[in-house]
């Protein structure tokens, strides 16, 4: 019975998390950056505190930098999301253009390049342009996909739990154990 309760709670939590990610993906992006900020801040503070408690010779510049970066990420997460998305968009644009130029050169040398390679390169280029035009919308897409996946998981798991419970209450089992003993 405890396992049944845990499974229901787990499925409901996945369902709620999925709904929240789909409804507020921009908040998920921001909270992810804040979490990364905390992960930079904690070891930085630890390094600084360790320096002062041990009276070490060399000031921990890396720890100070880590702590400051962590504070900056926590205080200004939107700034970092936009920068990251612009960098990603630029990389995709350059990658798409580079691939197109490479395939055009290959076609001149080899005579033929399958069309799908051009299509993929153009899609990379378009994805990069789309990210550069609207970086915050592009940052939300992975969280929406994660949210939809979590909703599907939660619903299918609840369905499985309810279906299993109904079979168990009806006395139906999927596997029947038969005890065969040989008489010797």
DSSP H helices in the chain: 2-23, 25-54, 61-75, 77-110, 115-133, 135-169
pLDDT of residue 180: 64
Q: Specify burial of residue 37 (Cβ count, 10 A radius: 0-12, 13-18, 19+).
A: buried
- Share of residues in the chain with pLDDT > 90 (%): 18
For residue range 65-124, list pLDDT tens digits in order: 999 999 999 999 988 888 888 888 898 899 989 888 888 888 888 778 788 888 998 998
Residue 43 predicted with pLDDT over 50: yes
pLDDT of residue 175: 53
Residue 1 predicted with pLDDT over 50: no
How far is 172 from 170, CA to CA, in rounded Å? 6
pLDDT of residue 45: 94
Query: Model's pTM, two decimal places?
Result: 0.63
Q: Mean per-residue pLDDT for 32-50? A: 91
Give the tokens for residue 84: 């990251």
Q: Mean per-residue pLDDT for 157-182? A: 67
pLDDT class of 27 with cuts at 50, 70, 90: confident
Instruction: Fill in the DSSP letter of residue 111.
Output: S
Q: Mean per-residue pLDDT for 127-132? A: 88
Tell me the residue ranges of DSSP E strands in 48-113: none
Residue 182 predicted with pLDDT over 90: no
For residues 178 and 48, the model is more confident at: 48
Those residues with Cβ within 8 angstroms of residue 97's Cβ, 6 or more apart along the chain or in another chain: 125
Task: Specify the length of the chain in residues.
Answer: 184
Phi, psi of 74 (to 5 degrees): -70, -40
Q: Mean per-residue pLDDT for 161-167? A: 73
């Amino acid at each position: 019975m405890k396992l049944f309760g845990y499974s229901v709670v787990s499925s409901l939590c996945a369902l709620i998390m999925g709904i929240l990610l789909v409804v507020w993906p921009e908040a998920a992006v921001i909270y992810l950056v804040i979490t990364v900020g905390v992960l930079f801040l904690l070891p930085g503070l630890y390094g600084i505190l360790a320096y002062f408690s041990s009276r070490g010779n060399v000031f921990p510049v890396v720890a100070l930098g880590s702590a400051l970066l962590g504070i900056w990420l926590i205080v200004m997460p939107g700034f970092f999301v936009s920068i990251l998305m612009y960098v990603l968009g630029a990389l995709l644009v350059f990658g798409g253009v580079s691939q197109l130029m490479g395939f055009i050169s290959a076609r001149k040398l080899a005579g033929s390049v399958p069309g799908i390679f051009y299509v993929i390169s153009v899609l990379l280029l378009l994805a990069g342009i789309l990210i550069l035009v609207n970086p915050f919308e592009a940052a939300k897409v992975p969280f929406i996909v994660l949210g939809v996946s979590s909703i599907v998981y939660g619903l299918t798991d609840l369905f499985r739990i309810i279906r299993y419970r109904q079979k168990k209450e009806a006395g139906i089992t999927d596997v029947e154990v038969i005890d065969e003993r040989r008489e010797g």
